[in-house]
A and B are shown apart, each in its own frame.
Chain A
Amino acid sequence: MSSMSKRIRIWVGIGALCSALVVSSLVSASTTAVAPAFTLPSRAGDNVSLEQLKGKVVMLNFWASWCGPCRTEMPLLEQMHKRYSSLGFTLVGVNVEANTADAERWLKDTPVSFPVLFDRESKVSKLYDVNAMPSTVFIDRKGNVRYLHRGYKPGDEGEYLNQIRALLKE
């Protein structure tokens, strides 16, 4: 069996090497750039543009009803919005689904009080170069993108709160 175990060793070696070479995705990145402007229809029926929210700390959350971590995250985002909205903070949900029926059905069961916008044509997703689901973008009072989160793992909400408080202090 020596040729067999040698083969195993080669395979394991290749596997380990490649796993090491693969770049793990950055979970959170810090940046400074002007947040691209957009206007999208909201669930309430009116159109909401980023311009209207200047002066507030905006947490833009790209989500979809078919995305497990997005659904897990939503109740926590709702708590954050309720807690800090009187201090000049707002959460804005951007639903990326082309067909919004599933999202609307899910929101009936899990209601949220923050505005949910529908990006049916993926214009805003492309504008913000969304490359993970969910994606969360923090925009400061001046309209600059400050923090970017890719994905959601339990515990990330701690970092969200720290960043909200930091941006509110400015």
Chain B
Amino acid sequence: MIKAIALKLVSSVLLLSGLCACGNIEPWVKPYERQQLADPIMNANPNPVSGAYMDHVFEAREGARGALGGGGGGCGCN
């Protein structure tokens, strides 16, 4: 059931992104207002080796796995 929902969600997000890219959504956080988001303490994964290791420590001892990671945020430059 989750898989079906996930697939539908993904397809709709992708479709939306494709369609909206042709239009014009004004970003409500301007590029020059990203000082806080660009701060290193707002980086969700500042130490990749440490993050990967801790993910492994938990996943090796638990039944659950997945849905970790992803990028985004930061300075939004270029």
Contact = CB atoms under 8 A, between A and B. Distances in A.
B78 A152 contact: yes
A60 to B, nearest CB: 13
Interface string A18-40: 10011100000000000000000
A31 B47 CA distance: 43
| Residue picked from B15, B17, B35, most chain A C-beta under 10 Å | B35
B78 A66 contact: no
Contacts, number: 75
A55 to B, nearest CB: 28
A67 B22 contact: no
Contacts of A164: none
Given A66-B34, A131-B30, A134-B77, 4 more contacts: A21-B17, A130-B31, A133-B78, A151-B78
Interface of B: 7, 10-11, 14-15, 17-19, 21-22, 27, 30-35, 38-39, 75-78
